[in-house]
Structure formats: structure tokens, C-alpha cells
Amino acid sequence: MSETIRKRNQDTKMVPVPSTSIIPERDIDKMPVLECKHLGIDFGGLTAVEDFNLIIGKTEIAGLIGPNGAGKTTVFNLLTKVYEPTRGSVMINGIDMHGMDTVDASRHGIARTFQNIRLFSNMTVEDNVRIGLHNQVRYGMLTGILRLPGYWKKEREQHEKAMELLSLFGMQDMGDMQAGSLPYGAQRRLEIVRALATNPSLLLLDEPAAGMNPHETQELMDNIIKIRDQFQIAVMLIEHDMNLVMGICEGICVLNYGKIIAKGTAEEIQRNPVVIEAYLGKQNQAEAAEAGKEAPKA
């Protein structure tokens, strides 16, 4: 399966677009999902992210990598409006996100998972997905309390949708289990299912493969591509597992000290001396060339 992923990745052609960015060729006619311009945020005197420019195509799988503390999760928090940016703008599907809050960001199609899993761990797996469907299948409080006909209809609809989403990851039999009692890998998968339930156009995954074994990671890679193909959405992921990033990401963006130091395809990034320096520090030329092949895999 890994081979097919790699092959598929090679078929993708990245094309340059204005504002110094690249998106896959197939997305060039469509409106980009995300467009960040000169995005930046300061915490007191500390500049956490500066001049962050990025375009993500409609069905692109993009990677955001960088050493620890580079500001990757801060970027996610800026995109989901956990923080209000100090400078610059974010456009989601052509809509300026200025003044929105986290709830608005979700309604406009940004869904995310968390680095340290944040499930509703006291509730069942199915209820977790149903909460994700909160804004998709709606009915009022009184309908719920009085058990009007609409309640039964919508509850069935929620159940069917939840099961359909869970079956994507083969979790349809775990619906009644308590979310907190699931194995680690399943919890990560459930978080992705919950994010998908909000019907997003951009899915942000914060270290989706953390704590997974190589076999699970492989499965995750297949699933991310499957999700992209089936839902026709864009995926942006933060990950330290370079096999995953280099395997499925079409465009990769490298962040260091809050600034983008490189953008490009997997091959370009692997060869980029600035990236190698960021990961391994300054070395003499020979060593750098030697390490270059392996560097981001570290």
C-alpha cells in the first residue's frame, strides 16, 4: 500500500500560484480552501508566528513540519481562532475570518484534532460522533424534551450518519464503548471521525500518528488519502513521523522560530539545506550532504 501512495504522490504536480505558494495542479481552477496572508501573532514581546503565507488547494494534503517549539500548533490555533492573529489575514473558502470565534470557524468548515487527545471520554464512542454532528443534524431543545416526532427522526438520522462515519475506520462495532476506554490508536481515529462529522472543507490533524506503531501509521496514511478522495476535502497535518509526511503530503511547509523557511514537495524539502540545518544544526558540507538524505527522517 505504501508503494501506491508514493506512486500517487509522484503523479501530483505542484504548480506555483501568486503570493509565493504552490498547490496541486488539479486544484488550480478551484478556489483555494485556505489562504493565509502575512499571518502573525505576538504573545507579549514574543513573536510566535511571523509572516506566515500559505495557500492550500481544494483537495490538497499539506504537511506542516518543523522542530519542537517552531509554532506549528500555534498556526493551527490561529486557523481555528483559538487565538486572534496580531497581524495578517486568513481566508477560508474565500471568506475573511476576521472577528470569527472557534465556533464560527467550525461552521465555516475548519475541523481539527488535538495533539493531546481531547475526546469526551466519559461518553460513548457513538455519542462523541453525534456531538460532532451537532450542527449537521439539528433539532430544538423542546423537541428533545417532549420527544416530538422530529426527535425520533433526527436521532435515527444521527445514528445512521455516526455509524457510517465510524465504519470508515472500521469502528462501527465500538459504538457503545466508552471513548476513554479505547486503545490509544482508536482514540486518535475517533478524534478524526468526530472532526469529519462536522462536515469540514479543511481538516487539521495535529500529530495524528503520535503513539502509533508502524502498522497503524500505515493504515492511517491510507485512511487520510481515502478521506480526501471520498469527501473531496483538504487535509493539513502536523507530524514528526517523516515517513508519513513524505509519503502522503503533496505540499510541505517547514516552520522554524515561527517563520516559514521552506515550501515545496517532499523531494525538494528533503534536499533543502536550510531545512537540514534547522533540524540538525550547522555542519560541514560533506556531513550535511551525507545527512541530507536522512535528515528529516530523524
Partner 1 sequence: MNAKRKKLIYNSVTFGLVILTYVLCSVFYKDMSRALRGQLIPICCWIVMAVSLNLVVGISGELSLGHAGFMSIGAFTGIILSGWMQKGFLIEDETLRLVLAIVGGGLLAGIFGFLIGIPVLRLRGDYLAIVTLAFGEIIRNVLNCVYISVEEGGGLHFGFIQPNLPGTLLLNGPNGAVSVAKISTFLCGFILVMLALIVVLNLMNSRTGRAIMATRDNRIAAESVGINVTKYKMTAFVTAAALAGMAGALFGLNYSTLIPGKFKFDQSINVLVFVVMGGIGNTLGSVISATVLTILPEMLRDFADYRMLLYAVLLILMMLLTNTPVTRAFFGNIRGMLTRRGPQEHVEANRGTGKGGGAK
* Residues contributing to the site for partner 1 (CB under 8 A): 80, 82, 101-103, 106-107, 111-112, 114, 118-124, 126-127, 130-132, 134-135, 137-141, 143-147, 151, 154, 158, 175-178, 180-184, 194-195, 197-198, 211
Q: How far is the CB of 115 from partner 1 (least distance, A)?
A: 12
Q: How far is the CB of 209 from partner 1 (least distance, A)?
A: 15
Q: How far is the CB of 30 from partner 1 (least distance, A)?
A: 24
Eight-state DSSP code of residue 13? -
Eight-state DSSP code of residue 131? H
Q: How far is the CB of 3 from partner 1 (least distance, A)?
A: 31
Single-letter residue type at 96: D
Residue among 12 and 124 whose Cβ is closer to partner 1: 124
Q: How far is the CB of 140 from partner 1 (least distance, A)?
A: 8
Residue among 4 and 135 whose Cβ is closer to partner 1: 135
Q: How far is the CB of 251 from partner 1 (least distance, A)?
A: 24
Residue among 191 and 219 whose Cβ is closer to partner 1: 191
- Helix (H, G, I), strand (E, B), or coil: what is residue 254? strand
Residue among 46 and 145 whose Cβ is closer to partner 1: 145
Residue among 111 and 246 whose Cβ is closer to partner 1: 111
3-state SS, one letter per residue, for 196-241: HHCCCCEEEEECCCCCCCHHHHHHHHHHHHHHHHHHCCEEEEECCC
Single-letter residue type at 91: M
Residue among 143 and 283 whose Cβ is closer to partner 1: 143
Single-letter residue type at 156: R
Where are the strands (E) in 13-118, listed by range? 14-17, 21-24, 34-43, 46-56, 61-65, 87-92, 95-96, 110-112
Q: Note whether 97 and 151 are within 8 A (CB).
A: no
